[in-house]
Structure 1
Amino acid sequence: MNISSLISFLFLFFSILNVDANGQPNFIVTSFGAVADGKTDSKQAFANAWTKACQTPGGVVSVPAKNTFLLSGGEFVGPCNGLTVFQIDGTLVASTDPKLDDLKYWITFDNVDGLNVVGNGVFNGSGPSSWAQCRSSSNCKNRPTSLKIHAVSDATISGITSLNSKMFHITINNSKNVRIANVQITAPADSPNTDGIHISKSSYVDITESSIGTGDDCVSIGDGASNVNISGVACGPGHGISIGSLGKYAGEQDVSEITVSNCNLTNTDNGLRIKTFAPSMSSNVVSDVTYSDIALNNVKNPIIIDQHYCPNRACNSGGESGVQINGVKFINVHGTSATRLGVSLQCSKTGPCQDILFSGLQLTVGGGSPATASCSNANSRFLSSNPSGCT
């Protein structure tokens, strides 16, 4: 390379590279051609910025504040050369083109060791453009999840807002050591299948100090999840905090070491729920689950284990669930139920629930009368609790 070519290369490189206050190389998406008009698809510009940041130790993809970018999709794939940061302070908007609703995911981070998705920005999934068909049909096709975290380790997601996803807001799959903190997830109560955060086949996942209001589960925990900690989460509207559904597919993995603490659920359709299909295609185990210091406010079905889960008429209603549930503790769960039945344990005849403990449970119906508990095929104990036992 002659001297003039070298100078030209360096000029081009430094024209797209900035260094932030922490000395990290900062690749601003507008320097790669992203157009902040909310109308022009900036997919390629974001891809180019990611490539540079991924190749650079400590590289930062920067989405500037007070800017809105249309993104038809984003696949941000590693491996990268060290920690990579996706700094979003502006707004990303998904396309409303119905042809793109066939995609499984809007934005994906895949195969990255060391990832921060941080900032005060917004992932706007443009959900209203695709919800109508699913409000009228329980068997509508799947739509794109807004943000997929797959095969990622040592990740932090912090400060962001996920708004109006077409389907799930955030999924974490085949990942480990993922921390989610101070995020806001929002969709209307009647938005279909808009789970807030779904975790599967992942370990050591922490969700803390976040606000989640959706049309489905605030947090759902699927097969293969272990060592999951959920604390300081405000949930509502939505369908509560759920383990499952499990048993729908063959070869599902066990779920274990799940802790939910210091959370508030308000006006949700369910509270703390474990759900499995019957009959089930797998015989996985749910074990070592602890719910503690949970406040419930006007919650329907506050505590429910449903081993005959069937979300639509397409289910086979015969048979029993082969999913085994054991070692579940409810410690200091308190508040008001919107339904007379506060605790429902409907377990499998062929594999009853084992070692279900309630301690310090205090549930009343809105007017102050005591809630009731109904149990079937469940080995349960109630200590210093109201309701004091099963009927």
Structure 2
Amino acid sequence: MEEVHVAPDYGKAEEEEERERGRRLVLPSCPKVTLPLLLYFKMAFILRVSVKRKKRSIGATQKMRIGLNSYKAANIPCKFRRTTYNVLNFGAKPDGRTDSTKSFLGTWAAACGSVKPATIYVPRGRYLLHKAHFAGNCKNTAITIIIDGTLLAPSDYHVIGNAHNWVLFEGVNGVSIRGGMLDGQGAGLWACKATGKSCPRGATTLGFTDSNNIEINGLTSLNSQIFHIVINGCHNVKLQGVKVLASGNSPNTDGIHVQLSSGVTILNIQYWYR
């Protein structure tokens, strides 16, 4: 019997809560640097050095250090700050039924076009995705994708069955994926192949092609149509804490397939075939 997943009913209150969680990942906007601000920073630094040289009380030194550190934390140079893009703000729906492909691609376009390091945040919920191709040539080399939810392939295997890859990153540099689950919903295609009928080849769940400096940490891949993860023509890739879950009767579902790549590190991988 095929396992049935019931998507939670996400109302406006829940969506707003997840948007707010994404907002908390964003540092405050960069302030304008004015002459009084520069003078304040200079005086704070001089006072801190003076306190050290005169060997005043530890309390005085700590007090000045706290004030200076607070100032510095609020004034990190803009080029080092991260901008967070929440997929909900681009129209994604965490209901497991609404096609959110365009919303995810729009979120990627914004992060890829940012000159500053960027974070893509996927809140809790189930997001239906058709074929998704995330292309490179980005303006920054530090995009982190934090997934608290599940990305769901279409239950009709014909939709992505001839796509080669369901989720593909191509020509990217400095992309990290943290957590989350990718559900390929491959059971229907496996059943088709078991009958000997003419069926689609099937799609790899997650592919990286011609990419560099990639990290995948804590991701779970469930019921891929064929290969779960493919690393093709890449350099400097690290996979850690990845879980691969599939049925024992799933044909040709390699866990992690590496080809034409160098500098690939694979640590603490779990394979579960039921």
Distance of 2:88 and 2:269 partners within structure 1: 30
Distance of 1:185 and 1:142 partners within structure 2: 20
SS at match of 2:93: coil
Taking only the aligned residue pairs, the percentage that are identical comes to 35
Answer 1 or 2: which has greater strand percent.
1
**TM superposition shift of 1:141:** 4.1
Query: 1 or 2 for the larger relative contact order (CA 8 Å, sep ≥6)?
Result: 2
Residue number in structure 1 paired with 2:128: 70
**TM superposition shift of 1:162:** 0.3
SS at match of 1:157: strand
**TM superposition shift of 1:73:** 1.9
**TM superposition shift of 1:136:** 3.2
Which one of the candidate residues 188, 197, 201 is aligned to 1:142?
Answer: 201
Residue number in structure 2 paired with 1:106: 166
Matched, 1:93 2:152: yes
Aligned residues: 198
AA of the residue aligned to 1:103: A
Do the aligned partners of residues 91 and 62 (structure 1) sit closer, same or farther apart at CA in structure 2, a change above 3 Å counting?
Answer: same
Post-superposition Cα deviations, 1:114-159, rounded to whole Å, max 9, x if no partner, equal: 110112x110001112111222339854201000011110110001
RMSD: 2.0
Residue number in structure 2 paired with 1:39: 97
Determine if contact 2:219/2:242 at 8 Å carries over to the other structure: yes
Q: Which runs of 5+ in 1 are unaligned?
A: 1-14, 215-236, 238-391
Determine if contact 2:157/2:186 at 8 Å carries over to the other structure: no
Determine if contact 1:19/1:26 at 8 Å carries over to the other structure: no
Determine if contact 1:184/1:210 at 8 Å carries over to the other structure: yes
Distance of 1:195 and 1:139 partners within structure 2: 21
**TM superposition shift of 1:213:** 2.9
Matched, 1:158 2:217: yes
Distance of 2:213 and 2:162 partners within structure 1: 30
* 152-161 vs 127-136, which moves further: 127-136
Distance of 1:40 and 1:155 partners within structure 2: 29
TM-score normalized by the length of structure 1: 0.48
Determine if contact 2:26/2:84 at 8 Å carries over to the other structure: no
SS at match of 2:98: coil
Q: Which runs of 5+ in 2 are unaligned?
A: 1-19, 28-80
Post-superposition Cα deviations, 1:143-188, rounded to whole Å, max 9, x if no partner, equal: 0100001111011000110000011100000001000000111101
Distance of 1:44 and 1:149 partners within structure 2: 20
Post-superposition Cα deviations, 1:175-220, rounded to whole Å, max 9, x if no partner, equal: 0100000011110111111110000000111110110234xxxxxx
Distance of 2:220 and 2:248 partners within structure 1: 17
- 1:1-391 matches, within 5 Å, as 18=23, 20=25, 24-56=82-114, 57-65=116-124, 67-80=125-138, 81-100=140-159, 101-119=161-179, 121-137=180-196, 141-214=200-273
SS at match of 1:112: coil
Distance of 2:238 and 2:106 partners within structure 1: 26
Answer 1 or 2: which has greater helix percent.
2
TM-score normalized by the length of structure 2: 0.68
AA of the residue aligned to 2:156: D
Distance of 1:98 and 1:187 partners within structure 2: 16
